[in-house]
Chain A
Amino acid sequence: MEPSSFLNELWMARSALGAGLICTIGVSAAAISGGTLLGLLLGVSLAEGPMPLRFVCRAYVDLLRGTPVLVLVLAAFYVPSTFGLNLDALSAGILALTLFCGAHVGEIVRGALQSIPPGQTEAGRSIGLTYPQILAYVLLPQAFRAILPTWINTGAELVKASSLLSIIGVGDVLLKVQEIIGRNFLSLDFYMLAGACYLAINFAIEQFGKAAERRLAPQ
C-alpha cells in the first residue's frame, strides 16, 4: 500500500473515475432539476390548491418522505418491469431520486408560500392581476428567497443519495471505485477518494448557494 502504487493505480483508473464522476454529477443534476419542477407543482398545489388536489399531494409527499431512498431506488428498479415497462438501472435511479427530491422540494415550497402574508395575494388581486400572474409576480419571487438555503441543502443531500444508485448497478463514482478496489484491493485509499469526490461536489454546491444568497439578499 505504498503511495506510489496508489498513484499508479489512480492513473490507470483515471478514465473510469472520470466517467463515474460525470455520471454522479449528471444523475444528481437531472434529479434536482426534475425534482424541483415537480416540487414547485406540488408545493403550489399544497399551499393553494383545492381540497381533493391538496389531499392527493399531501399523501404523495408524506409517503415519499417516509420511505428510505434505498427502498425507493430498489422499488423503481424492480417494480416497473412487472408492468411491462423496462427501465434500465440509470433511468430507474433517476426516476426514484426525482420523485424523492420532488416530495422534499414540495414541502419546502409549501412552507415558503404559506409564510407569505395573505395581504400580498389580496394586494395583487386588488390591482387586477389574475391568479397565475399573482403566483408568478407576487408569491413565487418572495418564496424563492426563503426557499434558497433549504433548496441548496436538499441538492447536497441528493448528491449523497445518488451514491445509492451504485447498488442497482449505475456506473456512478462509487460503483467505479468499488470496481477498482475489486482489482487492486486498495480499499481504504479508493474509498477515501470516493469520499473526497462527494465532498468536493457538495463544497461546490455550498459555495454556489452562498453566492446566490448574497446576490438575492435584500438591499
Chain B
Amino acid sequence: MGYTVNFTAVWGSFDKLMAGLALGLGLAIAAVLMGSVIGLAVGFASVSPIRWVRTTASLYVTVFRNLPILVIVLVAYFALPDLGISLDKYTSFILSLGIYAGAYLAEVFRAGLLSIPKGVVEAGRAIGLTRLQTNFYVIAPIMLRNALPALGSTMISLFKDTSIAAVIAIPELTFQARKINTETFRVVESWSVAAGLYVATCFLLAAGLRRLERQFPKF
C-alpha cells in the first residue's frame, strides 16, 4: 500500500510514447493496405462461379480468422527463417497483420458484394461493359461504400492488434509503456497513460470514419 501517483517519469518519456503511437498507426495502415488487396482478391474469389476458387477462398478466411494473431506473428518471425525466409521484424509483422487482416476484410468485402442488387450489374452488362469493366466501374464503387463502416471497425481493431508487435520488440506504444513500467516502476501511471492514448486514438479514428461515411451518400 501507500502508492503515490506521480506522472513525472511518464511525462519525461511522453515523446517516446507518442512515437510508439505513430509507429503503431503506421503499422496498422500498412497492414490495412496489404489486407485490402488480399481481402479484395479473396472477397471476389468467394463469390466466384468456379467451385474450387470459392473453396480456396473460404479455407483462407476460416484458417486465418481462427488463428490467434500472436501465433501468426511468431511463425512469421521465428519459424519462417527455418524455410530460408528471413524477414526483419517490421516486414514480418506487417506481413502477419496484413494476412490476418486479409481474412477479416475478405468477409467485409464479400458482404459488400452480396449487398449489390442484381439489376445494377445487369444494367452494366446491358450498356456493353465487359465483365472486368462491370467489376471495376459498377460493382467496386458500390461495394466499397457499403463496406465502409465494417472497413472502419476492422481498421480500428487492427490498430489495437499492433500492440502485439511489442512481443517481437517493435518499439510501439505497448512496448514503450512496458519499458517505462519496468524501468521506473510507475506501474499505474504508465499503463493508464498507454490505455488512455489507445482509447483516444480509437475514438478519433471512429469519429473520422463517421465523417467519411457522411461524405459519401449510401447507395
Which residues of A are interface residues toward B (Cβ below 8 A)? 1, 62-63, 65-72, 74-75, 78-79, 81-84, 156, 159-164, 166-167, 174, 178, 181, 187-188, 191-192, 194-195, 198-199, 202-203
Contact = CB atoms under 8 A, between A and B. Distances in A.
Interface of B: 1, 3, 63, 66-72, 74-75, 78-80, 82-83, 160-164, 166-167, 174, 177-178, 181, 187-188, 191, 194-195, 198-199, 202-203
Q: Is the interface of A mostly helix, strand, loop or mixed?
A: helix
B79 A174 contact: no
Nearest to A66: B199
27 contacts: A67-B195, A68-B160, A68-B163, A70-B167, A71-B177, A74-B178, A74-B181, A78-B191, A79-B191, A82-B187, A82-B188, A84-B1, A159-B68, A163-B70, A164-B70, A174-B70, A187-B79, A188-B75, A188-B82, A188-B83, A191-B75, A191-B78, A195-B71, A195-B72, A198-B66, A202-B66, A203-B66
A1 B69 CA distance: 25
Contact of B71 (A67, A78, A194, A203): A194
Q: Is the interface of B mostly helix, strand, loop or mixed?
A: helix
Nearest to A159: B68
Contacts of B74: 174, 178, 191
Interface centre among B162, B198, B203 (most CB of A within 10 A): B198
Contacts of B195: 63, 67, 71-72, 75
A188 B67 CA distance: 15
A191 B70 contact: no
Contacts of B178: 74
Contacts of A166: 70
Contacts of A83: 1, 3
Contact of B163 (A63, A70, A162): A70
B160 A67 contact: yes
Contact of A68 (B67, B174, B181): B174
Contacts of A203: 66
Contacts of B66: 156, 160, 198-199, 202-203
Contact of A71 (B80, B198, B203): B198
A79 B187 CA distance: 6
Given A74-B191, A187-B78, A66 B174 contact: no
A138 B105 CA distance: 37
B10 to A, nearest CB: 14
B78 A79 contact: no
Nearest to A74: B178
A159 B67 CA distance: 9
Interface centre among B3, B71, B195, B202 (most CB of A within 10 A): B71
Contacts of A174: 68, 70-71, 74
Given A71-B198, A163-B68, 7 more contacts: A71-B163, A78-B181, A79-B187, A160-B68, A160-B69, A194-B71, A199-B66
Contacts of A68: 160-164, 174, 198
Nearest to A181: B78
